[in-house]
Chains A and B, each alone.
Chain A
């Protein structure tokens, strides 16, 4: 029969408000620490553990930069304010650090923010017993989450004083791995605290321990770049993209230990290839406070400025990511001879092109590859050639001018089509400057032979030039025409001569364009 526990045992702190036991002793006033040689502390002897309290506030403690990886630079500052509401956590932590019990009976413990001072003797003994086993790599399942949290806080706050960062990191990772299925909140906390711990203490991510549940971490963490730090960028982005998918191909019965690697490799790579056309190397800086939500002394708390490549700014939604994964899975299944299970997966044309290109180059063989190659080669929207050649560019430009001149209408009406000049280097211009003079003389002769403005149009243009709109309207009417038609005649004449119109209409009023005032004066023989 299970032992019935006192309420006080279960809920810490309750003893403080309950009436003292009849024997007059309050067990909580003094906790005996057995073994390990740690001095006992009781309120009566007045001993205090010395604490180094020389941490400067808000100062840069360290700067690191990295050549490789997604994280480029970290600047670590101490916390800006001093707070002491976790009081003697460090003191008690040191006191109990070496306390262990070879054997202890399980006793429940609950606290929202577990601290040593909340443990009674039996709880402390059980904690010591459990912790001793954890330190030996044995993870007892009979444990409460509050004990686990306390242990995590211990690691966070007693590093590097009593726990080496490497050991602390491994212990955190092992706790995470072994207890995450029992205690769901562990993922939520440790995905951030593990990241903080490693960044503060300059440790790599313990991939060997946490990789089995990396996908879940990536879904929760606010800094996935830490967990994918040494993953090549394209693969990291592909993992994040794939992570957005709500479909898990691992759930298929056809994915087994023999072919899992093939599925993993090709699906993530194919999905990554979709990101090429949207990828931008986005370096950002973020401010990150360490151990948010944890019991953390101000001497351990840090504020970090982290500069990193951002891999989470892709705009793909879940649906797009899911469809991409399904499409990729179908392709892998096709190659492995497994019937595809997703029909009519909707991926965009660009994504399909990218993934097909990947599979043709990396996986598909035989007829399937040939068929897809034919489809890809028939990509009608890619240019026919690549690479630069000045001669080829010049040839293209000449061809363009030739086509334009072929398209001219009525043997010369489209003068503008001929007027695109040739680009010359500065030296060539100097040589031709002598010839230019001769050509301009010829042009002057030619311009004299162009059609002239008829009397009616000339009169109308004069009225427009002088701003006599009403007169222009009446004049058009008197000539049996409409103002718009008459203005159009003038513009047509202008087009033949200077390849542009000279009148513009606004709210029924015609005016001469400013650029051509001088030209109009010339045509009307007006001298100032």
Chain B
């Protein structure tokens, strides 16, 4: 483990973190180490998780411009949810993955969610089988504690009875019968070490059966998870996870701007209708134990011709009230707007990355505070930076500089970024029509 000032940081996590942010990618692990600012937003979202843990449901739209940190905040909350004993799942929407479609795009979203089910001890996905196995194992442990032995004949009967207790409560939900049946089959397969049946059950859970015939032949169930009903099964999973001891099911859906980009109006509105249905279920208490967090851009939300605001039912639910303007921020509404990081927040982030980089490579940070401030200033002075600069780009460039310094011990920070700081900005600087080009001085006298 890397140590600094006597504090311990998991080295593997640090390595993954640095390689992710160095590549400009949101880190799936260790995001909390570089969480800067967003204190109010984090507090608001964690309160949502607390509410869901108490039996409620929540749905939030996290809205921000490109590069404002939406995906990072979502990943951060995913980590926190896992730490708080939630089951989490996440998906990035795309042209192939939507909320509602007739060509399999809807169930593709569900399959991706199931593929990315995570828990604290399986933070990188594929935890669905672990969750179910842990549950079955805990039921088994309870019986063992009561004095029964797994070799006893009555052990199997008692286990089935316990499984049935949980499953019967699910039957009241849409799709509950088939869900309960497949759960029971999963237990049978686990007991008998029937890998084929176990695999069929997992396929069904993950929505990978494309026809009912196939599913009926393998599992004797009449329904499959498809484009039309996948959201019902998400709600069912939330109920199940709550029952088996987790705090709830937190689902993170990012890149919702892909819904905005659907060119066909009818298709786009169907997706918005699905969102409306999710919203109504969540705020109406019809999806207990389910927390939904969706990330999108301002256009996705506010465009009155194609965005959510174009759908009147959603606009009336999501638009800010008349009093939510000016200096006061309302973080209890369904929409959380992320402001672009301030200059000082970016500087704090650079400071943090400096520490982590030094920790991982066992070298002290050689960049002084003034140099870090200069770096930030240079990045922000580029043309268009006031609206276009993102933390992602800054961090990526900064890590490049740190890596170069690491590999070239004799190189100073200033020598890498250029004597006047222009080395990292390869394009010329514009100032009201005057263009300064370097390198043509020799022709000035011609």
Cβ < 8 Å to A, chain B residues 266-309: 298-299, 302-303, 305
| Interface contact B446-A501, CB-CB below 8 Å | no
Give the B interface residue count (CB, 8 A). Answer: 99
| Interface contact A484-B129, CB-CB below 8 Å | yes
Given the interface pairs A278-B384, A381-B338, the reply to whether A500 lies near B122 with Cβ below 8 Å is no
| Interface contact A393-B344, CB-CB below 8 Å | yes
| Interface contact A480-B150, CB-CB below 8 Å | yes
Report the bound CA distance from A293 to B359 in whole Å: 67
Interface check B65, CB cutoff 8 A: yes
| Interface contact B427-A393, CB-CB below 8 Å | no
| Interface contact A407-B46, CB-CB below 8 Å | yes
Interface check B39, CB cutoff 8 A: yes
Which 3 pairs from chain A and chain B are nearest by CB?
A232-B433, A485-B137, A65-B443
| Interface contact B369-A390, CB-CB below 8 Å | yes
Given the interface pairs A281-B435, A409-B84, the reply to whether A421 lies near B339 with Cβ below 8 Å is no
Which of A32-40, A152-160, A486-494 lies at the binding interface?
A486-494
Cβ 8 A contact of A436, one of B5, B43, B46: B5
Which residues of the other chain, B, contact A480 by a CB distance below 8 angstroms?
137, 140-141, 143-144, 149-150, 155
Interface check B64, CB cutoff 8 A: yes
Which residues of the other chain, B, contact A349 by a CB distance below 8 angstroms?
298-299, 302-303
- Of the A-B pairs whose beta carbons lie under 8 Å apart in the complex, a sample of 10, sorted by A's number, is A278-B384, A388-B347, A388-B373, A416-B9, A420-B33, A421-B359, A423-B352, A480-B150, A484-B133, A505-B122
Which residues of the other chain, B, contact A505 by a CB distance below 8 angstroms?
122, 126
Report the bound CA distance from A388 to B319 in whole Å: 34
User: Chain A's nearest CB lies how many Å from the CB of B368?
Assistant: 7
Report the bound CA distance from A396 to B65 in whole Å: 22
0 or 1 for each of B350-370: is its CB under 8 Å from A? (1 = yes): 011011000100001110110
Which residues of the other chain, A, contact B5 by a CB distance below 8 angstroms?
421-422, 424, 432, 436, 439
| Interface contact A484-B387, CB-CB below 8 Å | no
| Interface contact A63-B32, CB-CB below 8 Å | no
| Interface contact A68-B345, CB-CB below 8 Å | no
Cβ < 8 Å to B, chain A residues 226-275: 231-235
Which residues of the other chain, B, contact A385 by a CB distance below 8 angstroms?
342-344
Cβ 8 A contact of B193, one of A477, A513, A515: A477
Which of A41-49, A79-87, A397-405 lies at the binding interface?
A397-405
Size range of the chain A interface in the assembly: 35 or more
Interface check B121, CB cutoff 8 A: yes
Interface check A509, CB cutoff 8 A: no
Which residues of the other chain, B, contact A491 by a CB distance below 8 angstroms?
121-122
User: Chain B's nearest CB lies how many Å from the CB of A280?
Assistant: 6
Cβ 8 A contact of A389, one of B4, B138, B195, B344: B344
| Interface contact B305-A378, CB-CB below 8 Å | no
User: Chain B's nearest CB lies how many Å from the CB of A61?
Assistant: 12
| Interface contact B136-A381, CB-CB below 8 Å | no
User: Chain A's nearest CB lies how many Å from the CB of B261?
Assistant: 13
Which of B10-18, B393-401, B416-424 lies at the binding interface?
B10-18
| Interface contact B121-A495, CB-CB below 8 Å | yes
| Interface contact B43-A421, CB-CB below 8 Å | no
Q: Chain A residues in contact with chain B, CB under 8 A?
A: 63-65, 67-68, 70, 72-73, 231-235, 276-283, 309, 344, 346, 348-350, 374, 378, 380-390, 392-394, 396-397, 399-400, 403-404, 406-407, 409, 413-426, 429, 432, 436, 439-440, 442-443, 473, 477-488, 491-492, 495, 498-501, 505, 508, 513, 515-516
Report the bound CA distance from A279 to B55 in whole Å: 51
| Interface contact B387-A277, CB-CB below 8 Å | yes
User: Chain B's nearest CB lies how many Å from the CB of A382?
Assistant: 6
| Interface contact B352-A425, CB-CB below 8 Å | no
**Closest residue on chain B to residue A399 by CB atoms:** B39
Report the bound CA distance from A406 to B47 in whole Å: 12
**Closest residue on chain A to residue B353 by CB atoms:** A423
Interface check B80, CB cutoff 8 A: yes
User: Chain A's nearest CB lies how many Å from the CB of B126?
Assistant: 7
User: Chain A's nearest CB lies how many Å from the CB of B234?
Assistant: 22
Cβ 8 A contact of A388, one of B341, B376, B384, B433: B376
User: Chain A's nearest CB lies how many Å from the CB of B169?
Assistant: 22
0 or 1 for each of B21-44: is its CB under 8 Å from A? (1 = yes): 000000000001101110100110
0 or 1 for each of B54-73: is its CB under 8 Å from A? (1 = yes): 00000000001100100000
0 or 1 for each of B122-151: is its CB under 8 Å from A? (1 = yes): 110010011001101110110110000110
| Interface contact B190-A482, CB-CB below 8 Å | yes
